[in-house]
Structure 1
Amino acid sequence: MEENSKKSLGLMDATFLVAGSMIGSGIFIVSSEMARDLGSSGWLLFTWLMTGVITLFGALSYGELAAMFPKAGGQFVYIREAWGKLPSFLYGWTTFTVIQTGVIAAVGVAFGKFAGVFFPVLVDETLLEFGAMKINGANFVGVGTILILTFLNVRGINYGKIIQAIFTSSKLIALAVLIVAGIILGISSGFFDENFQYMWEATSTKKQADGSWLTTDLTTVGLVIVLSTTIINSLFSSDAWNNVTFIAGDIRNPERNLPRSLFLGTFIVTILYILANVAYLGLLPLQGTPFEGDFVYSKESVLSTGIQFASSDRVGTSAAFMLFGQTANYLMAILIMISTFGCNNGLIMAGSRLFYAMSKDGLFFRKASTINRFGVPAWAMWIQNLWAIVLCCSGSYGILIKFATFGSMVFYIVTILGLFKLRRTMPDAPRPYKAFGYPVVPFLYLVFAVVICVSLTVFTFWDTFGSIVLILTGIPVYYLVFNKKDQESTLDQGLF
């Protein structure tokens, strides 16, 4: 950390952390559900483009805050400086209970599931069962990856930096190869012509109570509603770009390198995500029909299901099948395992710095404020990852991910509102970098984010309700446990 360790991360390292934390398994899966929601190639690409614009606007806005407060904890610090301890604690509370740990758990289990392509026993057999909760080998593999990455990262940031560089560069290259090959083959496949012939005719395909699927044309109002809700899928795939701010204390020249890495990382991923979907549209028909019975990869079955009904929503695997045939399932599994492993390394490395900063403020376990002989907040990392392991085994992480994405959006709004407040309350504070396009770009981000959050609350109420409840439960925790006037509080006893 900044007090006791040499700053080890340069601009490229920080950029790898942004890109590597963003790219997990989502880009290879979520386009299938989005295609069912929109039924249109034009609107599918538009949604991914809007996701990129929103993410870039957020990153450009965060750059000013990152340059003002280049400290471990990042977003937690920005919220604290703008709004005080309670809002910053609520952010940290939500990040610990679900945003960071829930994503670590989900990404770990995703690694295990794709390892099941090579070792089917991992996913075919339930090892433990408690009511509705079922635990199989994929859960344990997820736990194993978390433990391995934690062990490596607590031995110094250089281990985490090397892992991040290797796995992020590997998945960027692999994704680029898939894109280039897909677009080249797509030019001669005829699917570009088919998919773009009626590219703005939007339809929504939903499963009915009797198990059948119903496709309806979307009106203008219906399209706006669907766009503002289905975008949560692409936003989830593009999230975690803010993680680099947590680790500011380990970045060389953070006033300069943090804003640059935020822009470069989000820009690179945005371009890759849009081009990946172009490649999908060149290799597969957008429209498809559900496959009845056990799915077996063949050219006929892949083309009949299309993007909309790709087996288990694995549109990336279906696209790869059109390029590489029967080996596609294994190649894509390897790619996603590389992607998720690198993603979790970034999340684990960065998240611990946030909880370290919280502890320094007396808002987290006392032990988390200590660093080990390698200059790493090992206690913070182990506490973070032990909770992620609990979530790995709970079977509830799928629901938690929905909570996490909405919760992230809420606190992005809070943070960028803080940018406006700090311009007013701290006008003379040094600002090595000023938010690009201020006030227009940050304001547009707020407009987009508020519209999405309101739409999700209205039209997917129960998913967002859980997230709101989770955030609000932090209020009694703050007042009962952490808001102690007497410094000799329970925080100073043992772990606390």
Structure 2
Amino acid sequence: MEKKLKLWDAVMIVMGSMIGSGIFIVSSDMMRNLGSGYWMIVVWLITAVLTVAGALSYGELSAMFPKAGGQYTYITEIFGKKMGFLYGWGMFTVIQTGTIAAVAVAFGKFTAYLVPALNDAAPIFQSGEFKITWIQILAIVVILFLTFVNTKGVQFGKILQNVFTSSKIIALLGLIILGFVLISQSNWSSNMSFGWDAFQNLKQTEWKSISGATVLGGIAAAMVGAVFSSVAWENVTFISGEIENPKKNVVKAMILGTSAVMILYLLVNFVYLNALDRDSIAFAANDRVAVSAAEKMFGNAGTIIIAVLVMISTFGCVNGIVLAGARVFQTMAKDGLFLKSAVENNQNGVPEKSLWMQGIWASLLCLSGQYGNLLDMVSFVIVLFYMLTVFGVIYLRIKKPELERGYKTFLYPFTPILYLTIGTAFCILLLIYKPDYTLLGLGLILLGLPVYFFIDKMKD
């Protein structure tokens, strides 16, 4: 593959893939579960440590296997084709395509602020609870448009990614600065006054003090949103084959990108805590806490400002995920674990058929209306695969110490062990407190096993 992406482009892919709609929404659920600005910041700090530790650990593998396919390639090289296929299966069925669908629909929902007719229009089709709306159609148009753009070559996708990621970073910085300048009455002290005391109010009734195991459950529930808002940074590894000097630039992009995004996330939450009181954060209309904060800053114009910001953010996020994800399915096809037609590059040097397969399935997930639930279910599985990959760093150090490592994990073995410790605690707490989501997500991935054995048998 041609090396058309520089370090800056790789950083923009990391940041653009991470920043979608989550940072504008998930803090409401976090406040409902823990009831304290102090705990809300603690959860974001834990997530930041988890995310950056993961990026530092992945860096060693990206330097060892600097080719397209990223995490799929790492898992396959370390643990074999069966485990690599399970990851790729999860990527195609839900993780990558479901994220594309969810973020595209978020684009449609915030567009409806500017074009109310989208909200007011009758469904195009409805049968019982199933319905197809104009917002879903707009989401599909965005997915197909960005898929088409990316078939024209990585240069086009790169330009879009750089423009939209730079725009949303500038907009977020503006929101952060104005969040302190334009607020006349700060709520910071009251939100942070609870210290280590935690509370829950999940149904807008009354705040109840919680302690012990219930606090741990609240942390796990709060972390679901924070973690999901902070994933997708590994997308840059999928496109390693097209990055200049991938042995160095991929790890630099992951570390710089994840660190910058987590700092932005923390600062945005400082704005929420400064602009809004506890109830206003926890019970913002439709969880759109960013809209409530913007209304405090700009009045009625705040809704429009945030709508435009989220549209920019989600559009760039979808582009980054579309750009990177298709390379995984192409690499799987080369290994005989995906449709053969996904192997070929078009005249522009990109895997066009793989891009369209990804785009069409993501569009169908938009129509299903189940993408949001599916993403909740696989949050557990996403972290499991992250943990498996991070464990691969330790495994290779023990089993194959002679392998060349262009980059070695900073503070090894502390960094990967820290990631595995936090990740394990997160997964155990989810199994205890959210078994419906976690077990269904795990079951969905395990469905890939009979598919793998069928494909393997067909090759014999």
Alpha-carbon offset, residue 395 of structure 1: 0.5
1:205 aligned to 2:197? no
- What residue is the counterpart of 1:492 in the other structure? none
- What residue is the counterpart of 1:79 in the other structure? 75
| Residue aligned with 1:189, SS | coil
Aligned mate of 1:345, from 319, 326, 335: 319
Counterparts of 2:33 and 2:336, CA distance in 1: 45
- What residue is the counterpart of 2:214 in the other structure? 222
Encode CA deviations 1:329-349: one digit per residue, 9 max, x unaligned: 111111000000000000000
| Equivalent runs, 1:22-421 vs 2, <5 Å | 22-124=18-120, 125-186=122-183, 188-207=184-203, 213-286=205-278, 288=279, 306-421=280-395
Encode CA deviations 1:446-466: one digit per residue, 9 max, x unaligned: 011111111111111111111
Aligned mate of 2:435, from 448, 455, 461: 461
| Residue aligned with 1:276, SS | helix
Alpha-carbon offset, residue 424 of structure 1: 2.1
Counterparts of 2:354 and 2:386, CA distance in 1: 23
| Residue aligned with 1:418, SS | helix
| Residue aligned with 1:117, SS | helix
Say if 1:185 and 1:283, in contact at 8 Å, map to a contact too. Answer: no
The gaps in structure 2 that reach 5 residues or longer are none
Say if 2:378 and 2:442, in contact at 8 Å, map to a contact too. Answer: no
| Residue aligned with 1:436, SS | coil
Alpha-carbon offset, residue 169 of structure 1: 0.3
Encode CA deviations 1:364-388: one digit per residue, 9 max, x unaligned: 1100111001000011110011100
Counterparts of 1:483 and 1:256, CA distance in 2: 39
Encode CA deviations 1:119-175: one digit per residue, 9 max, x unaligned: 222223322113321221110000000011011000000000000000000000000
Alpha-carbon offset, residue 200 of structure 1: 3.0
Alpha-carbon offset, residue 197 of structure 1: 2.4
Alpha-carbon offset, residue 484 of structure 1: 4.1
Counterparts of 1:454 and 1:104, CA distance in 2: 27
For 2:50, the aligned partner's letter is: I
Say if 2:378 and 2:437, in contact at 8 Å, map to a contact too. Answer: no
Say if 2:378 and 2:438, in contact at 8 Å, map to a contact too. Answer: no
For 1:466, the aligned partner's letter is: L
Greater shift, 65-74 or 191-200, is seen at 191-200
Alpha-carbon offset, residue 225 of structure 1: 2.0
Say if 2:30 and 2:221, in contact at 8 Å, map to a contact too. Answer: no
Say if 1:185 and 1:282, in contact at 8 Å, map to a contact too. Answer: no
TM-score normalised according to structure 2 size: 0.98
Alpha-carbon offset, residue 223 of structure 1: 1.2
Counterparts of 1:113 and 1:199, CA distance in 2: 36
Say if 2:200 and 2:210, in contact at 8 Å, map to a contact too. Answer: yes
Alpha-carbon offset, residue 398 of structure 1: 1.0
- What residue is the counterpart of 1:473 in the other structure? 447
Counterparts of 2:286 and 2:56, CA distance in 1: 35
Alpha-carbon offset, residue 185 of structure 1: 3.5
Encode CA deviations 1:388-446: one digit per residue, 9 max, x unaligned: 00000000011111123222111011111111111122211111100111111101100
Counterparts of 1:357 and 1:183, CA distance in 2: 47
| Residue aligned with 2:411, SS | coil
TM-score normalised according to structure 1 size: 0.91
Runs of 4+ off more than 3 Å: 482-486
Alpha-carbon offset, residue 483 of structure 1: 4.7
Say if 2:53 and 2:419, in contact at 8 Å, map to a contact too. Answer: yes
- Structure 1 vs Structure 2 CA RMSD: 1.2
Alpha-carbon offset, residue 9 of structure 1: 0.6
Say if 2:89 and 2:448, in contact at 8 Å, map to a contact too. Answer: yes
Encode CA deviations 1:6-48: one digit per residue, 9 max, x unaligned: 2111111000000000000110100011111110010001101
Counterparts of 2:336 and 2:457, CA distance in 1: 9
Encode CA deviations 1:43-89: one digit per residue, 9 max, x unaligned: 00110111111000000000000010011000000001110000000
Encode CA deviations 1:71-116: one digit per residue, 9 max, x unaligned: 1000000001110000000000001000000000001111111111
For 1:218, the aligned partner's letter is: I
Say if 1:11 and 1:258, in contact at 8 Å, map to a contact too. Answer: yes
| Residue aligned with 2:131, SS | strand
Counterparts of 1:248 and 1:370, CA distance in 2: 17
For 1:180, the aligned partner's letter is: I
Counterparts of 1:28 and 1:160, CA distance in 2: 25
For 2:273, the aligned partner's letter is: L
Counterparts of 2:364 and 2:410, CA distance in 1: 41
Encode CA deviations 1:289-312: one digit per residue, 9 max, x unaligned: xxxxxxxxxxxxxxxxx1111111
- Tell me the percent identity: 46
Alpha-carbon offset, residue 202 of structure 1: 1.0
Counterparts of 2:194 and 2:251, CA distance in 1: 40
Say if 1:41 and 1:200, in contact at 8 Å, map to a contact too. Answer: no
Counterparts of 2:47 and 2:302, CA distance in 1: 28
Counterparts of 1:176 and 1:482, CA distance in 2: 50
